[in-house]
Structure 1
Amino acid sequence: MADSPLFQALHMEMTHALCAEREKGLSALEGVGFRVGQGLSERLTKETPSFKGELDVLKFLCKDLWIAVFKKQGTYVLQDNQFLLLSQLSNGKQYLEEAPKFLAFTCGLVKGALSNLGFDSTVTAEVPVMPCSKFQVVIQKS
């Protein structure tokens, strides 16, 4: 993926531009992430045999996709205690309200990657404390 400071700056500007209207903005931001996730998973799995099950897909998300985007490995819970896209914000409680808009792109990214792999999913995120984030991925059975 892009150089980390450039990616952070792009994400910050994209978030501010798209989230002028809160609900429409979150949906648009998630849509951008969805498309990026589809493209990344297509590129990262080009020479990989198809996944046998959900565990293989989760390994792909935590190892290949998360490393490609955030330069570090995720865990199966997808909890990130120093989430790159929140690290520029203050640790104060006043920013917890604003935090979800900085997670919408990544939710879309994961959902798009799973969609490209043939899995329907629901991806939600929460910020218990800044800059920690937790992503919950529910893969629907086909």
Structure 2
Amino acid sequence: MVVQVMVDGVIRDATPDELVEIVGRSNGNIKALKVAKNEQINGWRSAANTSTFAHADKHFDCDALSRSDIDGVANHIGLFGDFPTGFPGMWKAADNTMLPVPDVNAFRALYASMTAQGAANFMRSQVLKAQLENASTAEEIAAITW
């Protein structure tokens, strides 16, 4: 997410990380620091959700392209009960090794691992947001990290 901020009288786009730095440099009030840190937490969660997830002692990519492929197979299984025609019976891990996926249940287990990682990322962001809610100083806010 990109937000607009005024720096030295000029409005420009800033990432959540830049926003935290800009607000902190300007000795912003606690409310502004909390808004900036909340955006940063959202950015951290987004990055985590689109990186990798672990399954069967391997890590699998979860970027937009990979997620599209994973969801496409999952949707096909949901609609038709089986793999799409031509499914190779394996899934490529982030290290370019292959994990055998011989049946729908094996794919379901892979998908469940991805979903579990997303849920863990959400819960971590909620813990950080609770810390943020309770923070009362700039130092406490700055100490909140992914």
TM-score bracket, shorter-length normalisation: under 0.3
Higher strand share: 2
Higher helix share: 2
Report the structure number with the largest CA radius of gyration: 2
